[in-house]
Amino acid sequence: MYPGTWAREAPDDIATIMSGGPLDGLRQTYKELDDRSGQLARVFLAQGLTRGDHVAFVLENRPEVFEVYWAALRCGLYVTAVNSHLSPAEVAYIVSDCEARVLVVSAALSGMAEEIVADTPKVELRLAVGGPIPGHEDYEAALAAQQPGPLEDQPCGMDMLYSSGTTGRPKGIKRDLPERQVDEPGDPMLTGFGEAYAFGRDSVYYSPAPQYHSAPLRFGAMVHALGGTLVIADRFDAERALADIERHRITHSQWVPTMFVRMLKLPDEVRHRYDLSSLRVAVHAAAPCPVEVKRKMIEWWGPVLEEYYSSTESPGATRISSAEWLEHPGSVGQAKVGILRICGDDGAELPAGQIGTIYFERDIETFSYHGDPAKTAESRHPDHPLWATTGDIGYVDDDGWLYLTDRKSFMIISGGVNIYPQEIEDALALHPAVHDVGVIGVPDEEMGEQVKAVVVAAEGATPGPELERELLEFVRSRIAHYKCPRSVDFTDSLPRTPTGKLVKRRIVERYR
């Protein structure tokens, strides 16, 4: 299924609603989405693109994101969504690396769009959305020159998204194109997440994260494929998110833990002002959720929280419901796609309870890193080429419930002991004086490394020695003393991706 299915059966049903920003209240029907994505697909074909070629877009949250997505998917192309918050050099790298022949850019990013022209010579056609950009053709004029509606042949395309680059330069995550038409069954999102979370025609899905990220993009597309309504927020705002749930009678939503923290820190009278009774499923993923945070969210929203653990690479997936999580607090679930394997540094599989690298065993090659066979090889088990990892570490209990620890590259080794920053960050996250926190290892002559917390103080809190002592005592009351920070530094902001992932390498660089 794809939007054309619903354009035929219910053309006036609403596919997309915008919330917030200059497009607030804009609605797009399934007929409009189908017509416009069909016109854009014809633009791509008229440019000479053929199956397996690439298009890219750099857009803020707006309906054209899914017009580009579905245009590419209905004519057998790869589509790359580029983080609109990147620097011009970073954008140019991704556009060139993915070998995009067509680039769609928002007029709000015109400065960046002009700057990267010289550094993206493989781009043959540049389209400007929402206003003019010198050297770019008008998106609306390009669509108007083409006929709407389905194409005679619609081979299914695929996204090729880039890793967030939290530990290095992003790499394109490539999968083989499916051998089917876009409207034929076989989409793993529909048979996996769609069925598990009961998405359907009556779903109203709220997406407050940037749409270039894999989860918002893929879940939004799944909603369109199943005929539901996608509500896109221009950005996340804690109180507005609650208001949107009430206003649009949201049934399904997706979040990251930092959003939960921001909503939990709202005053009680604000948190309880809005009617959230329409919520059936609140999915969260992307980063480990502190136990205290998740428990408070379940107490507030009820047992609607559904967590999954996967990645843009999608080597496998786990899932856990609210009821299961209350029995296994801190777990991210049991494997639903692939077989979990926890392995030591020597590649040997570890028994339950021991921490190691998380692999998923599958019966197929799941992904590769575009143009980087060495990095692809690093993601595979040395003895089992169908076991893949993204570098996360954790352990399983005797019943196969997975618990995440951290990424291997973030681990701190102090006095020969492994310390995982995530546990310390979780302990500090809900302290009322902490707005944001990152924990790193810094050089120590005696211990090799010592633990340092880098904190953004909450509004009204005063950074300084007194608050540092308070935070250190707070952590020591919750976790083993050998894991606790030796010091706290205060800063105005921490580098996070717009999807909530801490870019820890940039913090480490400050101290190196």
Domain boundaries, the chain: 3-231, 338-409, 411-510
> Rounded to two decimals, what is the model's pTM?
0.84
Contact assessment for residue 421 and residue 440, using Cβ atoms and an 8 Å cutoff: yes
Picking from 394, 388, 403, the residue whose alpha carbon sits closest to that of residue 290 is 403
Picking from 108, 92, 88, the residue whose alpha carbon sits closest to that of residue 100 is 92
Residue 152 — very low, low, confident or very high, per pLDDT cuts 50/70/90?
Answer: very high
Look up residue 440 and give its two tokens.
Answer: 């790193």
- The mean pLDDT value for 117-141 works out to 97
Instruction: For residue 167, give the amino acid letter.
Output: T
Over residues 190-206, the pLDDT tens digits come to: 888 999 999 999 999 99
Check residue 54 and give its pLDDT.
98
Task: Determine the Cα–Cα distance for residues 421 and 406; give it in Å rounded to an integer.
Answer: 7
∠ Cα 426 429 435 (to 5°): 150
Q: Which residue has the tokens 């680039």?
A: 103
∠ Cα 128 165 451 (to 5°): 145
Check residue 406 and give its pLDDT.
66
| Cα within 13 Å of Cα(200), Cβ side | 6
**338-409 maps to which CATH number?**
2.30.38.10
Average pLDDT of the residues of the chain: 92
Residue 47 — very low, low, confident or very high, per pLDDT cuts 50/70/90?
Answer: very high
Kind of pairing between the strands at 54-58 and 281-284 = unpaired
Query: Would you say residue 147 has pLDDT above 70?
Result: yes
Check residue 39 and give its pLDDT.
98
Picking from 261, 258, 291, the residue whose alpha carbon sits closest to that of residue 404 is 291
Query: Would you say residue 166 has pLDDT above 50?
Result: no
Fold match, 338-409 / 411-510: no
Contacts of 339 (CB under 8 A, 6+ apart): 316, 360, 361, 362
Q: Is the model more confident about 482 or about 328?
A: 328
Task: Determine the Cα–Cα distance for residues 466 and 489; give it in Å rounded to an integer.
Answer: 12
Look up residue 26 and give its two tokens.
Answer: 């804009």
Look up residue 384 and give its two tokens.
Answer: 């089992």
Over residues 338-364, the pLDDT tens digits come to: 999 999 989 999 999 999 999 999 998
Fold of 3-231: Rossmann fold (3.40.50)
**How far apart, in Å, are the Cα atoms of 207 and each of 197, 211, 249, 259, 418?**
15, 8, 13, 12, 37
Check residue 499 and give its pLDDT.
61
What angle in degrees, to the nearest 10, is found between the helix axes of 465-476 and 421-429? 110
Instruction: Give me the architecture of the 411-510 domain, per CATH.
Output: 2-Layer Sandwich (3.30)
